Chains A and B, each alone.
Chain A
Amino acid sequence: MRKSFLLITCAGTLLLMAAQTKPKPVPKKVLENGKKVYDTYCLPCHQQDGSGVPNMTPGLVKTTWVTGDKKRLVELIIKGMKGVEVDGETYDNVMAAHDYLTDQEIADVTTYIRNSFGNKASLIAPAEVKAIRAKIK
């Protein structure tokens, strides 16, 4: 009993440590390109610093959408969204579909927002975007 408890605690601690080790640093080029995409397509609504517009457009600072599940984030960029609650608030503007962006552009911009405005989350690769996009119909 005791032993297995110890083991579990050890494994738990290890897991926690693994989760806390910083995600690999994102290549500068990805961030630069991601910023370019962001400034062209996202900034008009989400604002320069990702702070959003009260009642209209949610901010991108530490929201569950930005830093959470990659698939949900990539799908949102491709399909757009309207009238869905974001962290307990509703917003009146529409998030347009961005299906015309390339896999590379979506990978770079999602990686950029996950690593800007105070966010820190793992990189999203073009191959991941490609796989997620293939499943959307």
Chain B
Amino acid sequence: MKRIGGLLSALLLTGFTVWANDTTQVKLRRGKRIPAEVNGGITLPAGFKAVVVADTVGRARHIVTAANGDLYVMLFRLKNGKGILRLRDTNKDGVADQVTSFGNYAGTGITIKDGYLYASSNKEVFRYKLNEQQEVINPESPERIITGLIDRNTHNTKSLVLDNEGNIYVNIGAPSNACQIEDRKKGSPSPDPCPLLDSVGGVWQFKADKLNQSYPEGIRYATGIRNIMGLDWNQATNSLYAMQHGRDNLNSLFPELYNEDESAELPAEELFRINKGDDFGWPYCYFDWQQNKKVLAPEYGGDKKKEGRCADKKKPIYAFPGHWAPNALLFYTGNQFPEKYRNGAFVAFHGSWNRAPKPQAGYFVVFLPFKDGMPSGDYEIFADGFAGGFREPAKSLYRPCGLAQGPDGSLYISDDKKGRLWKVMYTNK
């Protein structure tokens, strides 16, 4: 009761009405009085602060900033019939004051390169030309550059990144946990070789400027990858890096081999440095971060220790504990943050579900230092507190999902639970 004064003192804007066309109209609703939150409810290292750019925008997945600081947001489900948002902060206080929406499809992937915005549904990739003001000139008629990609619900999101030679890289996740004939059914066998790998379970390369490409025009750039959400092009090494979502259910599918603790910690969430032609071993292998080796999966004769054919598969360059769900990867190239962050990696961990009945983990953004294109130390938790009181999927307040770097070097974080977006700045205070 005594706190009510404090609660009332903070009058926050709690909602936008997003208008479903390309003319920017914003209705800001002066909503409920909610308590003032420090840093929009998240915790950060000393010297950093965060503001809430926008709240409850929809299930915000990947995000990208334009050269003028506008933030484009891909939504997992349509909101008012639209799947892409553009947020603009005209008075430069960090909080978006204009919202525009367009695109009649939902999805996850979104990126900007050389004057074009690229966005993906779970089957197709589109691109939109940007004008001087960084607005899309053709919101209702984008160029469809890739089509016909496999979408069987599980692991269907298509993350995007471009290199500097006019190629676009698309993750095509395997609609499967471990290539079983009946997915996740105890006792259902996994064929050898896994027939899925021809069309899923890897990263495909396409031309960024050619229309209507599909599998025949694409190149399977890397294989043996169960599913990727976070990927980024490292400008320092001019190469592709990605975070894999490792397999699930070791204990529930093989209770005689794995106990609940082992199943919660294993396998690793692997960070890959990807060259053309690489094979990372899924579904035959997984990386055990405790033994620091790639071992045979139990579906393919593994006994937790045997390496077998996995000895020849490409290893991760860094391994995180199991099931944290890395949904975004971003190499920091800005000047705003202190020197140690330069060229290092931020990873947004959505947070686990497959550690149950053990406590869930993740639900934070970590920083991993890099030198010469390789991790140069251990990760540290950079932004935390997204979950609120509960690190559990249905109860967590927010779940970090997308990362973007602003032109001023700020770091943006998206949440696909409630649709909050944060702008993180280094203030040295």
Contact = CB atoms under 8 A, between A and B. Distances in A.
A47 B356 contact: yes
Q: Which 8 A-B pairs have the closest CB atoms?
A: A51-B394, A96-B185, A53-B393, A53-B353, A96-B184, A44-B252, A92-B153, A94-B183
A97 interface: yes
Given A47-B393, A51-B394, A94-B154, A56 B187 contact: no
A53 B394 contact: yes
A94 B394 contact: no
Given A47-B393, A94-B153, A100 B356 contact: no
Contacts of A45: 184, 353
Interface residues of B, number: 28
A47 B392 contact: yes
A125 interface: no
Interface SS of chain A: loop
B356 A83 contact: no
A83 B153 contact: yes
Contacts of B261: none
Interface in B337-357: 353-354, 356-357
B187 A100 contact: yes
Interface in A24-77: 39-41, 43-45, 47-48, 51-57, 59
B186 interface: yes
Interface string A74-114: 00000010110000001111101110100000000000000
B153 A82 contact: yes
Contacts of A98: 185
B184 A43 contact: no
Contact of A92 (B156, B248, B354, B416): B156
B395 interface: yes
B152 to A, nearest CB: 8
Contacts of B187: 100
B76 interface: yes
A97 B185 contact: yes
Q: Max chain B CB contacts within 10 Å: which of A44, A51, A55?
A: A44
A52 B394 contact: yes
A94 B248 CA distance: 13
Contacts of B395: 51
A119 B388 CA distance: 26
A44 B153 contact: no
B417 to A, nearest CB: 6
Contacts of A91: 153
B59 A44 contact: no
Contacts of A59: 394
Contacts of B393: 47, 51-54, 56
B249 interface: yes
Interface string B222-253: 00000000000000000000000000110110
Nearest to B390: A51
A45 B185 CA distance: 12
A91 B185 CA distance: 17
A57 B255 CA distance: 22
A57 B186 CA distance: 18
Contact of B356 (A40, A48, A92, A94): A48
B182 interface: yes
A15 B99 CA distance: 53
A96 B177 CA distance: 11
6 contacts: A39-B357, A52-B394, A55-B416, A56-B393, A92-B153, A92-B156
Nearest to A59: B394
A80 B180 CA distance: 15
Interface string B86-109: 000000000000000000000000
Q: Max chain A CB contacts within 10 Å: which of B353, B357, B395?
A: B353
Contact of B417 (A41, A54, A80, A90): A54
Interface string B45-59: 000000000000001
B386 to A, nearest CB: 13
A100 B184 CA distance: 13
Contacts of B183: 94, 96
A90 B153 CA distance: 9
B156 A41 contact: no
A136 to B, nearest CB: 15
Interface in B186-224: 186-187
Interface string B388-425: 00001111000100000000000000001100000000
Contacts of A53: 353, 393-394
Interface in B347-381: 353-354, 356-357
Interface string B129-155: 000000000000000000000000111
